[in-house]
Structures are given as structure tokens and as C-alpha cells.
Structure 1
Amino acid sequence: MLIRFNVGNFLSFKDLQEFSMIKGKSEDKPRRLLHTDKLELLKFAAVFGANASGKSNLITAFRFAQKAVVTGVPKKGQSLYFRPDESYAGKPSYFEFEILLGNTGYAYGFEILLEKSEILSEWLFRLDPEGSDKALFIRDVVKGAFYTDLVIASENLRNKFNVYSDDCKQNSEILFLSEMNRAKGELYKEPSELSVFREVYRWFSESLSINYLNRPISDFSYFKDVENKEEVCRVIRSLGTGITGFEEKESSLLEMRQQLPKALYKELEEELDQRIADRARGKKVSSSMTVRIDDMYYIISLEEEQIKVSTVVFHHEGDALFEFHEESEGTRRILDLLEIFFTKEDKVYVIDEIDRSLHPRLTYKFIQEFLNAALKRNIQLIITTHESRLLDLGLLRQDEIWIANKNTAGETELYSLDEYNLRFDKKVDKAYLEGRYGGIPNFSTVFPAKEDNHEDS
């Protein structure tokens, strides 16, 4: 679960900005919170703002930091510093996540000089609500210094950790958290003091799911869960898609090959060959996989030495059958988002412009259904949106509503509506559209009307 995220000198974020999922002053709808011994966390947050206000830059900041950890510092990030002030090209950019794993909080972050793609510092702390945070490691690349409070019982693991930390002291190209998870499975065969490095890394690689426009969020794996089929159908029907059910339809490798890009199909072939070879050697491998690209979707199953390919078709009223690509864009969007209802615990979804292709009432209904589902599960959803109907204090808590506002200097500021003392019956959407909380566009006249200068005849 995400506790909070801090970012500075990245895109339109000049000075350090904080986005927090910690409960604010609002005492409304307490059942919606995740309660721990020392912390109460929100499970939902919506970020509102005008076009170019910087709300999507928040999503980009999440994604940049995630990629830096999982696949390495993005090479195309040299110009992502706060460009309205060119002096910021030579200043560090800052990223820090506070996350909750089980009942323990951790703070992980790094500073990077984007212009040169150089890591300057990195740190990981185990958080203590009483204030005695423990430094699992602090790395200062510029000074070539590495510090840790971690006590490792095993001499073998301690020696390996010291070697890895020495190698990374002055390495400005890779994060130490990434290095501790690169071909080092032997470190984690048995639980130890080092297990935290894998747990934190897996939060970035598996628990944090970030979705942009035109990038599928789901591989539709929930369609394969036979035991869950009735529940999936119920949710799809409740969202007014016109779909009454679904079933698998046999396809073929040839058909799939014709539909997929060559590079993707080649990659898929290699993966299948590897799985077949691993199975022949007695290794346990997954017997199925899903392939999703744009409006195409396939399920691949390994049965003995045979490869079976199928897709999903949808029932509508009157038993009409439609393939995925034949559904409307709005329905495809909803099917894409449904994974959120059926995913595992402790997943954090971050979705840019969730209302894209959705009717306003459907967006409202989807959020309503998510909030109900989240009552029983530890899951978080963070969205950006223009849909002002969501600014409803009957639906959302004040601390679940965030505003991204860009000032005249091009700096984005983030703030929660919880900073305002509002009555429960306040018409927040009307006040927002009137500019009461910022985050709306300022217009100038595009085509000024010319004054009539003709003289009376």
C-alpha cells in the first residue's frame, strides 16, 4: 500500500510536492480506511485539474521512478527536469515513496541528475511510528559512501552484501535496490535480514500498476478464473455494458500470428519454446498465458506437447456473440478496468484519465463500485480525471479529492481538498468549476470581436 509519494524538479514539479494517502482531518466514511496500529490510509484518491495543470505529470513521475527501479534509469529522461527554469538542469531531481508492507512502513527514494542520467544518492529506511527510523542503507554516490544499520546474522550473506554495496558505492548508473534483485536469487532462498530488499523491489515490480492513455491495464487474466465467472458476469452486467456473459472461443497460432506485430509474435514464440523446454526438464511452469495488444486478446494453453489458442467472445441480449474488437470503445475500457475488482490484495493502481471513453454516469458508477469492493480488500486506486460529477461529498471523502494547479511560473502545486473546511452538503463540483479551489483553465479571448467603427450615414 502507498503511504505517500514525494517528487521535486521533475516536469512541472519545481519544488518538492507531496501526494499523500494518509487520512486527513475528515471523519467521514471511516469504514473506507485501512487501519493499522499507528496509521490510517485512504484506499482511493482522485486528482483533478485543468489540461496542462500537471496532474498527468504526477502519473509520469510514478512511472519514471518505477522504471528506474525495475528496468533501470530511463535513458530518455535527460530533459524531464523543471525546464521553465534552466538552472534546474544542474539540480537533482527527487523521488521518494513511503509504502506499507504488512504492518511495516518503509521509505525508499533516490536523487538523480536527469540531464546526465546520473544517480546521486539513494536510501531505504524502515519507518518507526515513534520516530526511531532504521537506515537499511544510505548511499551517497558523489562521496562514494555507503552506510547501513542492518545487522546480518549470516556471515555468508553479510560478506555478499558488503561486496555488492562496495561495488555500488560510486556506480551512478544503477540503483542499489535494483542491483540487489538482479540475478541474486540465492540471497533469498531462505528468509533473512536481506529479504526486505526483495519485498520492497516486488512492490515496484508487481504491486504498483500504472496505466496511461492507450496502454492496456489488464491482460484479462480474470476471464480464466472459472470459479469467479459468475461474479465477473454480475459486475459486467451491473455496469450497463449490454454484455450478459462470455465464453472462450477456439482460435489458432496462425490467426494469432496474423494479428500480432512480428516482433511480439517472435518474443512469444521464444517464451513458449522456453516453457516447453523447462517442462521437459521437469521444471514447474505455468500452463497458460494471455496476450493482449490494443483490441486483440488471446489465451494460450500448454497441454502435453500441444499449444492451444483461444480468445473470448461476449454474449449480448438475444444470444448475439461479439468479439472483443467489436465491442464499443467504452465497453472495452470497462473490461480493461475490471481487473481492479478481481486482483490480489495489496495492489496499487494508478490510472491517468480514467474517464476516457466512459459516459459520466458510468465513471461515477465505476468509482462507486470500487469504493464498495475496497471495503473488504486492501487495494488502492489513484486516478486523474476531469469528471466534475465525482466532486460529490456524498461519494468521496474530502481527503480523497486532490487538486493539481499550475501557477503563472509553470509550477504545479498539489493540495488536498481536506485543507478546506467544507460542510458535508457543500456543492463542491459547482465551487470547483467556479475556480474556488484552483485547478481550472484560465481562458483569454481567441477571436476578439471588432468594434463597429462605421459612421452614421
Structure 2
Amino acid sequence: MLIEFTVGNYLSFKDKVTFSMVKSESDDSLKEICTFEPKPDSKFSLLKTAAVYGANSSGKSNLVNALDFMRKFVMYSVSSPSYSSGERDIATTPFFFSASTVKMPSFFEIIFIEKNTRYRYGFEVDNTKVKSEWLFWSQANRETMLFEREEQAVEYNKRSFKEANDFVTPENTVKKTRPESLFVSVLEQFDGPVSSEVVRWFEDFYIISGISDIQYRYFTVRLFDANPDFRKWALKILSKFDISNVKLKEKESIVSKNSHGNKADRVSESISEYLERPKAAAKKQVYFSHTFYGNDSKPAGEIDFPMQFESAGTQKLFYFLGPLYQALNNGKTLIVDELDSRFHPLLTTLIIEFFSNKNNKNAQLIFTSHDTSLLKKEIFRRDQIWFTEKDKFNSTQLYSLDEYKEYYARKDASFAKDYLNGKYGAVPVFGNKDELLEIIYGK
């Protein structure tokens, strides 16, 4: 479960900004469906969903990119050739629009709960090495340092973090850890129990694009093929969208089978010949079954249409079901950049409700969006709505609607109307519209 994420001097974030999933004490609306207690003895509650709004190029996607960079660096700083010594610089990008930041390290810190333990983990990194790294945990509501690293120097808790014993020299420097690798990633490689738990949390932390489904397409097809529970679950959902059946076929097998002659077969063959065969890594292709009608307008069998013939929204829905199932079924955090892309607003609302209602495993959904129809007090609390806006220095500011005074965000306010009217900022600035029209039409 994600509690907070802080990033600084990365992409469009000059100063440190913090995104929080902690429930605000000033708002008790939708408490039963939108919040949960992460542990029985918790002194705070967490949010199940959160949305990030802002103008184009305001930094919404950069927030997702920052989370994705941290996740991948934790997972691959040891094993990936991209981070191997001498082969390539670390792929971090500082804020380039200030002389005070361009040569400074980027900052990443995340607070999360895994197996009833609260962790605070972070690091600072530039293009050549890890400048600092730290890991704390909280048990019985008291935070304890596990290790703190400054470049190759390190201090660690000899009682609570014994897995570091063989990886620290008598001079308190790290062993078996390159300057460009994370200490927690090295310890995970050697099965350190605490480090493995930290890295495993990042591995189960899903970050996907709502614009392109390429990155999770094969995952969903493979899950549909191998997991009967997911297949049954997905088919039930798709049936509500008038999709009667889904079939996986070997790429060479393209003919539909039915008990009403060869009419549907011939149509399927012609469709398959019309399509250019995809070059995807998946060995099987997805087909949606549709009813085939004879000359008497009565059902005469089924025709299997390749996925490419379905609408872009239907394709995204099917492929999106894999990550959605994994998050809901395992109580994980799912982050989607532009969730509403290619989705009808009612479908996007339904997906949000999957996380808000009957979400007993406390999965979390965080997404960016331009769909203002979602900005309703029936869907979101004020602390669930976030905005990104660039200041005059081209630096992204991140803030929650809950930070506004009651005058600007009344509990009976129309969030969408007030947002579009500019009360919360984070909207495009077009300048003079009449001048734009003159430019467009050449007057």
C-alpha cells in the first residue's frame, strides 16, 4: 500500500513535491467507500483512489515517470546492462531550467506498507552514481533506521538489519556494491529478507500507460490463457459489454468453428487474409465471437473476429483487465497514465468504483486524466483530487484540492465547474482566443 511519494530535481520537478494517499482529517465524506485503515492499530487512514489533473505539459505524466524510474532502478540497478559500470550513465534527468539544479542529484523517497510493516525508502542519484540511500521501518508506530548510505560509506542497524553484516567493511563502506547500484538491490540479490520484501513491493507495484496497451498486452493474453480464475472473471465482465465469448488461437489457426455450415468460416478466412499478421511476441491471438445471421435474419452460428477489428476502446478494455485483476485480486497499487484515454466516461467511472466498492483487499488506483466529468463529490473526496501546474520558472507544482480554503472548495461545490473556471489553477492558458482564431483563419 502506497502512503507517500516525494520527488525532487527530476524532469519538470525542480523542488521536492509530495504526493500523498493519506486521508485528510478535515473531510469525512465518502469515508466508508473511499478510505481504509492499512493496519488494525493504524492512527491514520489511506485513500483507495486518487486522480491527477492538469494542463498539457504541466507534469502529470512526469509524476508517473518519476515513480516508474524509482521502481525500475530498484529492480534493475544491479542486473540490468543499462546500469552496468562503465557501459551507460544512470538514466536520471535533473531539472534543466536552473543552474542550481542541473548538476545536482535527483531525489526519490517512497513510504509504503508491506505485510503490516511501514517502510520509508529513498535515494539521491545523478548520472554516474548513487549519492545517498536510506531505509527505515516502523514497527509499533516507532521509526527505526535500518541503514543510511552516503556514496560508498554506510551505517546500519546491527540488530535489526543483520543481512548487511557481510556487505559492510570494518571501515563502514559497502562491499559488493558498485557506486551506481543500490545497496537494497544488492542485498536482495543475496536473499536478504528485509531487502527482498522492499524490492518485491516494487515488483508488484503496477505502472502502465492508458494511451498504449503494448506494454501489458502480452501479459493479459498469457494470463487469460493460463489462469482459469482470471478467464472466468474477464468473461463475466466482457459479457456486460455485449461480448459473448473470447478465444485464443494459434497464429496459424484462423478459421472459426461452428455447427451451422461454412458461411462464417469463409467470412473469417477473408478477414484474416485481409489483415497483416502482427509481429507481437505472443504466440496466440485474441478473437471475439459475434453472432452470424443468415438470410432469414436468424442466428446461424458465430463468427470470430480478430482483436484488430474491434474498437480501440474495446481492445484497451480487454488488455487492461490483466493489470486490473492483478491489482484488485492481490491488494496492490495500480498507476495509470491517462486512464480515460479511449474509454467512455461511464466506463472510467466504473473502473474507479471497482476500487471504491467491495475492495476488501485494499487495492489502490492512482491515475492522471483530463476527463472533468469525473470531478464529482459523489466519486471523489477533495483529498483524492490532485493538480499539476507549472510556475514561471517552468517547474511543476503539485497540490491537492484539499489544500484550498473552504471558500474555494466548498463541500457543496461543483469540482468540475470550479476547475474549468480556473479556481484551482492547473488549466491551459491560451491567451487571447480572438487572436488565436485570427491566426488559424489567416485574418
TM-score category of the 2 structures, normalised to the smaller one? 0.7 to 0.9
Q: 2:5 corresponds to which residue?
A: 5
Change (3 A) 1:159 1:434: closer
Q: Aligned pair 1:67/2:98, yes or no?
A: no
1:354 to 326, 339, 356: 339
Q: Aligned pair 1:336/2:347, yes or no?
A: no
Q: Which moved more, 1:196-205 or 1:361-370?
A: 361-370
- The answer as to whether partners of 1:222 and 1:342 remain within 8 angstroms in 2 is no
After superposition, the C-alpha distances for 1:381-416 in whole angstroms (9 at most, x for unaligned) are 110000001101111121111111111211111111
Paired AA for residue 427 in structure 2: I
Offset of residue 159 of structure 1: 4.5
After superposition, the C-alpha distances for 1:177-216 in whole angstroms (9 at most, x for unaligned) are 111123x2xxx4xxxxx411100011112x1111134243
After superposition, the C-alpha distances for 1:30-87 in whole angstroms (9 at most, x for unaligned) are 2332312223111211100000111111011011111211112765666721111132
- The answer as to whether partners of 1:353 and 1:383 remain within 8 angstroms in 2 is yes
After superposition, the C-alpha distances for 1:8-41 in whole angstroms (9 at most, x for unaligned) are 0111111110000111132122233231222311
Paired AA for residue 234 in structure 1: K
Q: 1:139 corresponds to which residue?
A: 149
SS state at 2:63 partner = helix
Change (3 A) 1:252 1:71: farther
Change (3 A) 1:416 1:150: farther
Q: Aligned pair 1:95/2:108, yes or no?
A: yes
- The answer as to whether partners of 1:46 and 1:400 remain within 8 angstroms in 2 is yes
Root-mean-square deviation (CA, aligned residues, Å) is 2.9
Q: 2:428 corresponds to which residue?
A: 441
Question: How is 1:383-394 mapped onto 2 (pairs within 5 angstroms)?
Answer: 383-394=367-378
Q: 2:265 corresponds to which residue?
A: none
- The answer as to whether partners of 1:364 and 1:389 remain within 8 angstroms in 2 is no
Separation of aligned partners in 1, 2:287 and 2:169:
54
1:235 to 229, 234, 237: 237
How many positions carry a matched residue from both structures?
A: 384
Q: What are the ranges of 5 or more consecutive residues in structure 1 without an aligned counterpart?
A: 189-193, 262-292, 299-309, 451-457
Question: How is 1:151-170 mapped onto 2 (pairs within 5 angstroms)?
Answer: 151=159, 159-162=165-168, 166-168=173-175
Question: How is 1:361-440 mapped onto 2 (pairs within 5 angstroms)?
Answer: 361-372=346-357, 375-420=359-404, 421=406, 422-440=409-427
Offset of residue 169 of structure 1: 8.9
Offset of residue 166 of structure 1: 3.8
Paired AA for residue 285 in structure 2: T
Change (3 A) 1:34 1:140: same
Paired AA for residue 36 in structure 2: L
Paired AA for residue 120 in structure 1: K
Q: 1:301 corresponds to which residue?
A: none
Q: 1:18 corresponds to which residue?
A: 18
Paired AA for residue 247 in structure 1: K
Paired AA for residue 373 in structure 2: R
Q: Which moved more, 1:398-407 or 1:344-353?
A: 344-353
Paired AA for residue 129 in structure 2: E
- The answer as to whether partners of 2:9 and 2:105 remain within 8 angstroms in 1 is yes
SS state at 1:123 partner = strand
Paired AA for residue 155 in structure 2: Y
Paired AA for residue 330 in structure 2: E
- The answer as to whether partners of 2:176 and 2:186 remain within 8 angstroms in 1 is no
Q: Aligned pair 1:148/2:146, yes or no?
A: no
1:322 to 299, 305, 316: 305
Change (3 A) 1:320 1:76: farther
Separation of aligned partners in 2, 1:331 and 1:243:
10
After superposition, the C-alpha distances for 1:242-282 in whole angstroms (9 at most, x for unaligned) are 312213334459x9xx9575xxxxxxxxxxxxxxxxxxxxx
- Give TM-score scaled by structure 2 length: 0.79
Question: How is 1:291-306 mapped onto 2 (pairs within 5 angstroms)?
Answer: 293=280, 297-298=282-283
Q: 2:205 corresponds to which residue?
A: 208
Paired AA for residue 386 in structure 1: H
Separation of aligned partners in 2, 1:440 and 1:414:
13
SS state at 2:196 partner = helix
SS state at 2:67 partner = helix
Separation of aligned partners in 2, 1:159 and 1:369:
45
Paired AA for residue 352 in structure 2: I
Q: What are the ranges of 5 or more consecutive residues in structure 2 without an aligned counterpart?
A: 254-271, 293-301
SS state at 1:22 partner = coil
Change (3 A) 1:369 1:317: farther
Paired AA for residue 118 in structure 1: K
Offset of residue 449 of structure 1: 4.8
Offset of residue 148 of structure 1: 1.0
Offset of residue 226 of structure 1: 2.2
- Give TM-score scaled by structure 1 length: 0.76
Q: 2:119 corresponds to which residue?
A: 106
1:41 to 40, 43, 46: 46
Separation of aligned partners in 1, 2:20 and 2:416:
22
Separation of aligned partners in 1, 2:202 and 2:177:
24
Offset of residue 163 of structure 1: 5.7
After superposition, the C-alpha distances for 1:214-250 in whole angstroms (9 at most, x for unaligned) are 2433511442332444432221233x3x312213334
Q: 2:262 corresponds to which residue?
A: none
- The answer as to whether partners of 1:402 and 1:414 remain within 8 angstroms in 2 is yes
SS state at 2:426 partner = coil
Question: How is 1:211-226 mapped onto 2 (pairs within 5 angstroms)?
Answer: 211-212=208-209, 213-214=211-212, 215-218=214-217, 219-220=219-220, 221-224=222-225, 225-226=227-228
2:182 to 175, 191, 201: 175
Question: How is 1:24-35 mapped onto 2 (pairs within 5 angstroms)?
Answer: 24=24, 25-31=26-32, 32-35=34-37
SS state at 1:393 partner = coil
SS state at 2:101 partner = helix
- The answer as to whether partners of 2:373 and 2:416 remain within 8 angstroms in 1 is yes
- The answer as to whether partners of 2:177 and 2:186 remain within 8 angstroms in 1 is no
Separation of aligned partners in 2, 1:59 and 1:367:
18
SS state at 1:82 partner = coil
Paired AA for residue 5 in structure 2: F
Identical aligned pairs, as a percentage? 33
